[in-house]
Amino acid sequence: MDVSIVAVSIGPDSDSNLNATITTDSDSNLNFTITTDSDSNLNAIIILKKLCVVANEVIKSGSGIGFTTPFNDPSSITSDIYKFFHNVASDPNKVLLVASDPTTNQPLASLTLTHNALNPRGEAKRHRCSLTCFFVSPHFQSKGLGCLLLSHAESSARQISPLITYITLDARSTQKAALSCYRRSGYTHWGTMPNYATTRQDTIHDGIFLHKRIRDQTLPYTTNFTSHLTKPAVNIFWDPDFPTIDPSKETLVFVHGFPDTRKTWNAMSEYFKNLNYNVLVPHLPGYSPVWQGSLPNSMQPYSIASLEEELFLYINRRTSEPIHLVAHDWGAVISQQFAITHPETLLSLTCLAIPFDLVSNMIKHNPTQMVSSSYMIPFQLPHPLPEITLINRGGIERLFKKWSPLWSERERSAYAKSVRDELANRSSITSALHYYRANIGMASTIMRFLLLLLTPIVPLLNFSIFGSLLKFIPNSLLSAIPTHELKLSNVQASSRPKILQLAGATDGCVQSVMFKLQKSNDDANYMIIENAGHWLHLEQPDKVHRVIEAHVRQFSSKRKKKN
């Protein structure tokens, strides 16, 4: 059977204006009516309300989820049980996973994963998490759904923190089906507690305690992982789909850029799924809707080195095999550093819109690229001025229009609006701008000071005049400014042919000439996509899909084995 598994997360006051009515008949069919004055978190609320009915059926069957007596009054279902699930979904230390029928959106099973990654007083327990409130609808038991949900919970635990090594859980001794599921999933019985749980008939049963190791070893407590424990909203690559990795297939990892979200890969990821690849599509760190907390005082989590290491940890938690990496914009920058640092992990790399050697070629051969990159200057202004401009003053829409001028106005406007709304709803825009602040404005105090001085002047300058003025600045002075230059020559020689760089011919962000300037480098493999701008994979999807497919197939591990 097809199953959709999602992590449900809502704010504590999300349903203050919501009214709902649920009735059930003897066959457990739902009659669900919901009205609300706001669209905020509506889907999550609907899932929780439906989940309440399934939970009540589970309580009736005697399985229990902390309740022993079922509710016969529908109003109690939508109040007492709902409060229970609402508290779970709004707790940052818990992850509520719900498995549903993708056709009807009817919840079929659920469990709660409790961790200590965000708990400043939970340091002694950060290496483990617990599973509770695990249940499967009585109408869908014995179909393997429980084991599938357990597998996704383990994937979730690995993504929450690299320190989580163990999962613990417990069950009543009479829950034979659940215990069988746990053992089939690799959980070990380590102890029994007498008189552990009471059932509806006031009968007391023993408790069975189990655990499972989900990593080969606990990763060390080092400074690299400090932000994992305190600010996972900022620095964790998060994949809400928890896809199961088939070891017989090769894996493609897609990394998005700015201003964008993971949905930029919707069409391409489906294309490669249909070609029988595993597909991973994480949120960039700071863009995730799951972890929303205060931002760190330090910019260190946003440095390219930190982001690249997080990408490596994310991939390493999902598969031990080499992968194909496809990345756009900031995702391409991070992936270029990844290719330099972890060449053994790559089967191939495709960088969209951002070339290697960008800074040096801009300074030496094409200083007018600085004009195209001048949009970064206002981003150095303190919060919330740039954020307000981007979200509330049409800034994101203007970037899309400038960077992809030939893209259909209707498609471009619709997509830009969806990106703006998603970044605004998730409060992710500040994290997104910190990428620029950490790696450009904070590259040196001098650079930050110069950028702030230039901010009021840039809009007044004619682009061609500005480019001409830049030519008079000595290269030695420009070269002295610290930058995060990513050179193709720093990539291991044997890995350079695995890298394909794609550019849109009309890109208003990074000029396509910046790719052509690599022609003197024999190792540079690039292609210019005509009639496309910065979002070339959305503007010319068929062309870009075929080009990337050919590149991936060329460096397939299966192809090497055949040869």
pLDDT, tens only, 338-375: 999 999 999 999 999 999 999 888 877 887 888 888 88
Sheet of 323-328, strands arranged across: 278-280, 251-255, 323-328, 346-352, 499-504, 526-529
Do residues 528 and 515 lie in contact, with contact meaning Cβ atoms separated by under 8 Å?
yes
What confidence category does residue 17 fall into, taking pLDDT thresholds of 50, 70 and 90?
very low
Asked if residue 528 has pLDDT above 80, the reply is yes
Asked if residue 516 has pLDDT above 80, the reply is yes
- What pLDDT, on the 0 to 100 scale, is given for residue 35? 32
**Can you tell me the distance from the alpha carbon of 255 to that of 273, in angstroms, rounded to the nearest whole number?**
16
**Can you tell me the distance from the alpha carbon of 252 to that of 556, in angstroms, rounded to the nearest whole number?**
11
**Can you tell me the distance from the alpha carbon of 49 to that of 54, in angstroms, rounded to the nearest whole number?**
9
Handedness of CA 534, 537, 539, 544 (dihedral sign): positive
Most confident by average pLDDT, 24-33, 79-88, 225-234:
79-88
**Helix axes 409-425 and 385-392, enclosed angle (nearest 10):** 140
Do residues 63 and 52 lie in contact, with contact meaning Cβ atoms separated by under 8 Å?
no
The pLDDT tens digits for 112-166 are 999 887 666 667 788 889 999 898 988 887 777 888 888 888 888 887 877 788 8
- Written as six digits, the tokens of 79 are 């109040």
Between 16 and 107, the more confident residue is: 107
- What pLDDT, on the 0 to 100 scale, is given for residue 156? 83
Asked if residue 71 has pLDDT above 60, the reply is yes
- Written as six digits, the tokens of 258 are 């700015």
Our CA angle for 279, 284, 286, nearest 5°, is 145
Asked if residue 188 has pLDDT above 50, the reply is yes
Tell me what the mean pLDDT of segment 227-236 comes to: 40
CATH class of segment(s) 4-213? alpha beta
Nearest CA among 209, 199, 182 for reference residue 61: 199
CATH class of segment(s) 223-562? alpha beta
**Can you tell me the distance from the alpha carbon of 251 to that of 527, in angstroms, rounded to the nearest whole number?**
23
Nearest CA among 411, 437, 502, 40 for reference residue 258: 437
279: Cα separation from own chain's centroid: 13
Asked if residue 74 has pLDDT above 70, the reply is no
What confidence category does residue 69 fall into, taking pLDDT thresholds of 50, 70 and 90?
low
The domain segmentation of the chain, as residue ranges, is: 4-213, 223-562
In sequence order, what are the residues at sequence separation of 6 or more whose Cβ sits closer than 8 angstroms to the Cβ of residue 329?
A: 256, 257, 258, 260, 352, 353, 354, 509, 534
Asked if residue 27 has pLDDT above 60, the reply is no
Query: Out of 309-313, 388-392, 482-486, which region has the weakest mean confidence (pLDDT)?
Result: 482-486
- Written as six digits, the tokens of 411 are 């498609």
Q: Is 303 helix (H, G, I), strand (E, B) or coil?
A: coil
Q: Is 123 helix (H, G, I), strand (E, B) or coil?
A: helix
Query: Out of 344-353, 383-392, 410-419, which region has the weakest mean confidence (pLDDT)?
Result: 383-392
